[in-house]
Amino acid sequence: MMIIVCRFSPRVSRKRFFAKPKGFHVDSQPVSVDTPGAIVCADLAAGAYPPSLLTSGSALVLGEISIIPKLWQWCDSRGARTAKSTRRGGRPTVMAGTITQPSIRSQEQSAALRTLASERLFYVIAGSVMLLATVVGFRAFLAHGKGFGGGEITRQIVPLVIVHGLAMLSWIILFLMQSIFILNGNRRLHMRIGVGGGVLAGVMVPLGSVTAILSAHHNPELYQPFGGPRFFLATMLGEMLSFGVLVGIAIIYRRRPEIHRPMMLLASLMIISGSLGRCPYIGEFAAMKPLYVLGPALALGALFLILQWVMTRSLSRSYAFGYSAMVIASLTFIVVGHSAFWNRIAGAILL
């Protein structure tokens, strides 16, 4: 038994197909996903006349191997007459069980859609993890208005610290919301709210920088476990600078999601070192040399890179490149923070 499936034009009515029904019967089982119509079984040895093969989705199951070459030639002649309509579109051609390129292309498109959905879900998971870390790390501040370790907030800058903390929390919430909008296909709302996100980022850079300077000035003892106030100031100002640069790149490439999304994620990672350093069990990691508070953020970024690869089975070049730049920048902050040149500058700032 041999199966030959030809491409058929759907333009001919079912009435024409059954014009000569002698020797044929209909079987409802499809040959493949590309021939979803009925299968027509022909007993050509009994003198049955071949159908027109112009009914969409039909297939011939032949019982006489001796007439296969003639039928094949007949199918080719039919295909030649419908070549023009074939080029205009329609179902993919299947000959002798071989699936043609359009079918393969359809499978590739389905795989690409699954990868895209997994990637969008990844950013929702990443945003949820960062929000959880922020809430847990700043639980004393959010619930009781307390500072690091449950101590009092630096009294000289209490309003500034509160505004700074709320701005950071708002950014993480916004990142998660924007990721959910994209996952649900609400791109228009995502772009509208994104304007507000750009304004918020523009406010956060000077706000975070001023808060870090005044906090290290008024409460230098607080930062002794993290390399001292001058080294801490180098890392904090470096983080705010990196945050601004990454957000700027994301805004420039806002119409290229393969660049926009990784840059926004990396920018968010740069500003959660404070909340990660206050989380249980992670605080000790944040006090370890030489990375100090940069260590937990870099570790979380590496975990995100692995998670994205597991979920999408592909490596985002933009994220990998941006994360590499983030590691290099963090090492640069460490070197600069311990340099004599920076000590002179920080000493002048903190006077």
Instruction: Find where tokens 């730049």 sit.
Output: 325
CA 5 – CA 262 distance, rounded (Å): 47
**Is 259 domain-assigned?**
yes
Shared domain check, 140 and 90: no
CA 301 – CA 21 distance, rounded (Å): 68
Shared domain check, 268 and 337: yes
Across 149-225, where does the E strand assignment appear?
A: none
The per-residue pLDDT for 317 is 93
**Is 197 domain-assigned?**
yes
The per-residue pLDDT for 102 is 65
CA 187 – CA 246 distance, rounded (Å): 21
- Non-local (6+) Cβ contacts of 84 within 8 A are none
The per-residue pLDDT for 77 is 53
**Is 333 domain-assigned?**
yes
Shared domain check, 171 and 34: no
Shared domain check, 150 and 54: no
Shared domain check, 304 and 236: yes
Q: Domain containing 56: what range?
A: 2-99
Q: Which of 99, 126, 150 is the last residue of a domain?
A: 99
Shared domain check, 281 and 247: yes
Shared domain check, 220 and 284: yes
**Is 251 domain-assigned?**
yes
Shared domain check, 113 and 94: no
Q: Residue 127: which of 314, 300, 271, 268 has the closest Cα?
A: 268
**Is 223 domain-assigned?**
yes
Number of folded domains that form the chain: 2
| Residue pair 266/322 in contact by the 8 Å Cβ criterion | yes
Shared domain check, 184 and 91: no
| Residue pair 291/302 in contact by the 8 Å Cβ criterion | no
**Is 169 domain-assigned?**
yes
Please give the C-alpha separations between residue 44 and each of 31, 47, 63, 75, 301, in angstroms, as whole numbers: 20, 5, 7, 15, 68
List the pLDDT tens digit at each of the 351 positions of the chain: 444 444 434 444 344 433 444 443 434 444 333 433 333 333 334 444 444 443 434 444 433 344 444 444 544 454 444 444 444 444 444 444 444 566 666 777 777 788 889 999 999 999 999 999 999 998 888 777 777 666 778 888 999 999 999 999 999 999 999 999 999 999 999 999 999 999 999 999 999 999 999 999 999 988 888 889 999 999 999 999 999 999 999 999 999 999 999 999 999 999 999 899 888 888 888 888 888 889 999 999 999 999 999 999 888 999 999 999 999 999 999 999 999 999 999 999 987
Shared domain check, 228 and 180: yes
The per-residue pLDDT for 136 is 93
Q: Which of 99, 125, 153 is the last residue of a domain?
A: 99
Q: Residue 93: which of 9, 1, 30 has the closest Cα?
A: 9
**Is 167 domain-assigned?**
yes
Q: Which of 59, 80, 99 is the last residue of a domain?
A: 99
Shared domain check, 318 and 279: yes
The per-residue pLDDT for 249 is 97
Shared domain check, 126 and 85: no
The per-residue pLDDT for 104 is 67
The partner residues of 39 in beta bridges, in order of sequence, read 27, 59
**Is 104 domain-assigned?**
no
